[in-house]
Amino acid sequence: MKEDLSVRVGANITGLNSAFRKAGRSVSGFAAQAGTDINTIKNKVFSLQTAITAMIGAFALKKLSEGFIETGKTMDMLQLSLETITKGRGAEWFEKLNEWALKMPVNTEKAVSAFTMLRAMGLKPTIDQMTLLVDTTSALGGSSDTMEGIARAFGQIYTKGKVMMQEVYQLAERGVPVFEIFREELGLTNEQISEIGTTGIDAATAIDAMWRGLAKRFGGQSKLIQDRWVGLTETMKSYWKEFQSLVMQ
């Protein structure tokens, strides 16, 4: 009886040991498989990250190249416009305006557009007058649209040959103290200004008066903001555009 019990206990212990060994092998196998699965997952995640990074890089490169191409096209069109407006002196004027714009809180594209508009309407603005136009725009806290609007009003006055109330309002809406300037520079009364379309003030006289009045009020404004954040950002954008243009030449 004792021998049968000993045999059964021994058999149980042997079976238990065998079970433990099998369990150990199973755990080891599971751990090994889990490790393999984790490594596989990590490799797949890394591959996905690499693919995403490559896609982002390709997209950024595409956008960068599009920016260079667009700048090259824009600069070519500006030079062609100047070539027509200045009767063959487009390259010369583009170089002058570009060199000037790099020192001003305005980009070359907007500067050339304003210059071209004035020339197309018969005016012949100098670099000093273009500087005053930027000074005025800067002082009024306006954007390039403000500069374009002032240039257009000047051009319309010149093409009409005399001052009309429509252009006076255009200037006033952009913050230009046109009524005050006409009172000071031309000696006009408020009543005469209100009927300015019938006073017969010729375009050249009115525009000269406007340049003088703007110079007294806003001359040098660009230099004041050149070292400020708004001026620095415009300068950085101008130099980046210049770099793109040089690469595309």
pLDDT in tens, 172-200: 999 999 999 999 999 999 888 888 888 87
pLDDT of residue 47: 64
Per cent of the chain over pLDDT 70 is 59
* Per-residue pLDDT at 106: 78
Q: What residues form DSSP beta bridges with 162?
A: 202
Question: How far apart (Å, rounded) are the C-alpha atoms in residues 79 and 105?
Answer: 21
Provide the pLDDT for residue 1.
45
Number of Cβ within 10 Å of residue 148's Cβ equals 18
> What pLDDT shows up at residue 229?
53
Q: What is the pTM of this model?
A: 0.64
- pLDDT value of residue 81: 78
**Nearest CA among 85, 73, 136 for reference residue 112:** 85
From 123, 128, 168, select the one nearest 150 (Cα to Cα): 168
Nearest to 238 by CA among 115, 67, 107, 74: 107
Query: What pLDDT, on the 0 to 100 scale, is given for residue 157?
Result: 95
Q: What is the mean pLDDT of each run of 10 residues along the chain (249 residues)?
A: 44 46 48 52 58 60 55 67 83 87 81 91 94 92 83 95 92 94 93 85 94 95 70 57 55
Domain boundaries, the chain: 73-248
Position 86 scores a pLDDT of: 84
pLDDT tens digits along 62-102: 555 555 565 556 666 777 778 888 888 888 888 888 888 88
